[in-house]
Structure 1
Amino acid sequence: MVNFTDEAAIGTPYWWEALRETAAPETADLPAHVDLLVIGAGYTGLSAALAAQDCGASVAVVDAGEPGTGASTRNGGMFGAHPRLSWSRLAAQFGPGTADSLFAEAAPARDFVLDLITRHGISCDLQETGRIQLAWTRSHAQAQSRLADDIRAKSDVPIDVLDRDAMSREITTERYFGGLLFADHCAIHPAKFHRGLWRAAAQKGIAVCGNAAVSAYERSTKGFTVRTACGDITAEKIVLATNGYTTLPFRWHLARVFPLPSYIIATEELPSNLIGHLAPGRRMMVETRARHSYFRLSPDGKRVLFGGRASMRHVPLEVAARRQHETMCEIWPELEDIRLSHVWTGNTGYAFTEMPHIGEDTGLYYAMGFSGSGTVMAPYLGAKAAFRAMGDARGHTAYADTRFKRHWLHPTTKPHFLRAADLWYRTWVDTRDRMQGR
């Protein structure tokens, strides 16, 4: 049974508590015309807007809701850009040359976003914690060794393979068979990062318009006419930056990216000696099992934040909290009686290739499908999309050499397959993982 604190915030991200201390920038009026219109005011869109203005373009950003209320202020705040897939899987899908280039681009992507934070003076509780990928089974640990070899050979990302003895210095549990340590990965406060990007855009005079959902757009020889809830705007080019919150009229993109909910719980404040016992290494942590669990300490080191797949479709938050609490206690039984202060959800934009994509369709550019790696890849590829729209050489990226694929399971714009997929994962895959992890 899950116990909540008396002041528990059900549905409100823990990260939003810090935003109450400062006022958000004012949303702007919609201009009549811009060189580049960015649709979506999260990490991707705000970074795209800053990059386009750096090229000399006039820019506006529109968002269907209040800027930043989507995934950019709801995620786990894990900051790193190592390849999500093995080199062999990338090579099989896109060719060896593209696989090499994707691996090589990991360190530059991280450095780009760190520079973005420094250049705009963004205070986002950046901590160089490192991140450990935790091997749930012996076979996962063996696969990690192969991945480490590829990363060392094909990128500048520092990596270490941890055996079970080394793991005991990082996390107090017997659940894992080893891990990969990405020492240069960081922790950030995701909502403060977003607020800093928004403030940087506002200070540069970029119009960021909230509650301006796009309902239609038309192409012409001069560009686009876009209908929003705040009126019409014309633009020579568009960057679509909506990821897991993509809606109609962007039918082509909806067929290729789908929203996969992630659920996160936050514990009440814990005694420092308990925190030190549970996570002596104080790292960011992610699992290899199919639950995609990820967890960390809060920036002040007083809480555990625990996220992952409680369901592949939307369920009541009390149900998600119970499932996440049960999963957390599989790892740390010591937390069985600990109360929760927050539970919330947000959409990851998932691609069938399980990796981000960037591209263009007659003046409509996009960056999306981050598949859980958006903290770095969203601002990085958002800027790349804007540079490409402006014809700037800085837009070169191997992610433009990948095919954004459809899948027969998803023939319409609505991901009906997620209901069956959720049942499959919860009844078979999770049971298999539970047996293999013993």
Structure 2
Amino acid sequence: MAVLSADARPGLPYWWEGAVWPALDAPPPAAVDLLVLGAGYTGLSAAIAAHDAGAKVAVVDAGQPGQGASTRNGGMVGAHPRLSWDRLTELFGEEVAAGVFAEAAPSLAFVQDAIAREGIDCDFAQTGRIQLAWTRADHAGQRKLAETVAAQSGLPCEVIAKADLRREVGTDSYHGALLFPTHGALHPRKYHDGLLAAVLRRGITVTACCRAGLPVAEGGAYRVETPHGTVRAGKVLVATGGYTRAPFRRLARRVFPLPSYLIATEPVSPNLLGELAPGKRMMVETRARHSYFRLSPDGTRVLFGGRASMVDVRPEVAAARLHATMSEVWPELAETQVSHVWSGNTGYSFTHMPHVGSEGGVHWAMGFSGSGTVMAPYLGAKAAWRALGDPRGETAYAETTLRTSWLHPGGRPWFLQAANLWYRMVVDRAQNLAARR
């Protein structure tokens, strides 16, 4: 069976169906209080926060705003820390670990409040998100994580035993799960559309296809050259995530683009979907493939993403690999074809944690490492407030770090070639063996 359907268009995100990309060709103002570089979730949220705090703001993007990770992700809304309490404490100390856990609930509320306040129609639903344990050891770790989350963040979470798992997902592939009932789902492109509309309603200029040069300190402000002329900005905020390029080499060395791949199936019968995903949750798994899957907002398809490769591969290759993994989880979908396959760059940090930082008057929020649907808008606002000296900018993520590595001197992350080979030959095989025991 051919994995791709006859009318599939490889490379086109499912979320882009019906998209109308606005012409944003007005040049940026000659002088602003804050110039935001990047018009994804991070940059647009930063622009709203700075404008509403009284600043004159402009936003420029090297391409079409939103066509990066902000409209390519899985649309899962959740914010518990990616790292364990012990690992966070080891990296940053107990005070920072406590702060990071404590911001899980406020960051989630920030996104929900913004959707309601700005009237964003993005198919948001509080579906809950379930983390599926690939091995018994993973499930034991989930029990410990549940205790930490309850004690440090106050977010509700529930440990689900293997015997009870079929009430949530129709498969016997996992050894248990951890459920976050307050997490949710949205349509990422519609969410970006709503944030962009909120920015434009405020009279903020957003300029597409306007790649900015490196900010140059000049007379207490910054001079930024663009194809549309020079902008003089009191402060600059870099919000380019996994698409950070030259001349921002310092940040590009610390945040590298890690591709994530997704497929959408052809429509599946409602009865079968009810058997496969009775809980209608956002679903992620713990194995190294880092698969994440959900039903489409209209409840007609399965969207399945994951680490089909740690480097760029052809969409057809990614589709075959993801379809094979999906069929391991749900053999019932083995004959179901794929209508869409696409990818996007996750801005990954070497600590797997986001960071809000600054050097002089140049600020940034990046390194979301797969948690950008919530953390990007939340920390974008934090970075904007910090740039303006607003106390609302206080965050534990200013105490994390963006580290460098000798493996990544800048430019393309060639080290991922070796990492991809090691992952596919060693890590994934070992986890599959462990799961069978």
Q: Distance in 2 between matches of 1:172 and 1:187?
A: 20
Q: 1:376-415, aligned counterparts within 5 Å?
A: 376-415=374-413
Deviation at 1:398, TM superposition (A): 0.5
- Residue number in structure 1 paired with 2:366: 368
Deviation at 1:331, TM superposition (A): 0.4
4+ long deviations beyond 6 Å: none
Q: Which runs of 5+ in 1 are unaligned?
A: none
Deviation at 1:26, TM superposition (A): 4.2
- The more displaced of 131-140 and 230-239 is 230-239
Q: Distance in 1 between matches of 2:409 and 2:41?
A: 29
Letter in 2 for 1:24: P
- Residue number in structure 1 paired with 2:243: 245
Q: Distance in 1 between matches of 2:27 and 2:6?
A: 40
Q: Distance in 2 between matches of 1:40 and 1:107?
A: 26
Tell me, what secondary structure is at the counterpart of 1:437? helix
Q: 1:69 to 1:251 in 2, by over 3 A?
A: same
Out of 195, 198, 203, the position equivalent to 1:197 is 195
Q: 1:275 to 1:409 in 2, by over 3 A?
A: same
Q: Distance in 1 between matches of 2:87 and 2:240?
A: 26
- The more displaced of 81-90 and 373-382 is 81-90
- Residue number in structure 2 paired with 1:49: 47
Deviation at 1:4, TM superposition (A): 2.1
Q: Distance in 2 between matches of 1:138 and 1:358?
A: 36
Q: 1:351-362, aligned counterparts within 5 Å?
A: 351-362=349-360
Deviation at 1:409, TM superposition (A): 1.9
Q: 1:34-433, aligned counterparts within 5 Å?
A: 34-433=32-431
TM-score (normalizing by structure 2) = 0.98
Deviation at 1:274, TM superposition (A): 0.7
Q: Distance in 2 between matches of 1:259 and 1:38?
A: 20
Deviation at 1:246, TM superposition (A): 0.2
Q: Distance in 1 between matches of 2:309 and 2:334?
A: 21
Q: Distance in 2 between matches of 1:307 and 1:28?
A: 36
Deviation at 1:170, TM superposition (A): 0.7
Q: Distance in 2 between matches of 1:245 and 1:412?
A: 13
Note if contact 2:62-2:208 (Cα within 8 Å) is conserved in structure 1. yes
Note if contact 1:263-1:345 (Cα within 8 Å) is conserved in structure 2. yes
Deviation at 1:365, TM superposition (A): 0.3
Deviation at 1:27, TM superposition (A): 4.4
| Structure 1 vs Structure 2 CA RMSD | 1.1
Q: Distance in 2 between matches of 1:221 and 1:89?
A: 43
Deviation at 1:7, TM superposition (A): 2.1
Q: How many residues align?
A: 436
Note if contact 2:12-2:342 (Cα within 8 Å) is conserved in structure 1. yes
TM-score (normalizing by structure 1) = 0.98
Note if contact 1:2-1:322 (Cα within 8 Å) is conserved in structure 2. no
Note if contact 1:25-1:199 (Cα within 8 Å) is conserved in structure 2. no
Deviation at 1:6, TM superposition (A): 2.7
Q: Deviations over 1:197-223 (max 9, x none)?
A: 000000100001000012333122321
Tell me, what secondary structure is at the counterpart of 1:261? strand
Letter in 2 for 1:176: Y
Q: Distance in 2 between matches of 1:114 and 1:70?
A: 22
Say yes or no: does 1:3 pair with 2:3: yes
